[in-house]
Amino acid sequence: MAFHVYIMTNRGDGAVDIGVTNDLARRIYERREKLESGLTERCNLTTLVFYEEYHDADEAIACEKTMKKWQHN
């Protein structure tokens, strides 16, 4: 099974969503259709700008945690 670390944004105010999923197509669909409430809905985070595939869930989660520590403006 593959796991994906992804970054989605709105290309507007710089808000980003960094996450891990085992079904990237489903996650993109959920974001674009605003099927989940929260940050994605409030900030309209619907544009996928990066993803990377991992075959180990622990590696994907470690990568996500590292990325979430990145400073961005």
**pLDDT score at 53:** 97
Q: 58: domain CATH number? A: 3.40.1440.10
- Alpha carbon distance 8, 39 (integer Å): 11
pTM summary value: 0.86
Q: Is residue 73 part of a domain?
A: no
Residue 13: domain span: 3-68
- Residue 62, pLDDT > 80, answer yes
Domain count across the chain: 1
Q: Is residue 11 part of a domain?
A: yes
Going by pLDDT thresholds of 50, 70 and 90, the confidence category of residue 57 is: very high
- Residue 73, pLDDT > 70, answer no
Which of residues 11 and 15 earns the better pLDDT score?
15
Task: Map the chain to HEC letters.
Answer: CCEEEEEEECCCCCCEEEEEECCHHHHHHHHHCCCCCCHHHHHCCCEEEEEEEECCHHHHHHHHHHHHCCCCC
- Alpha carbon distance 3, 13 (integer Å): 28
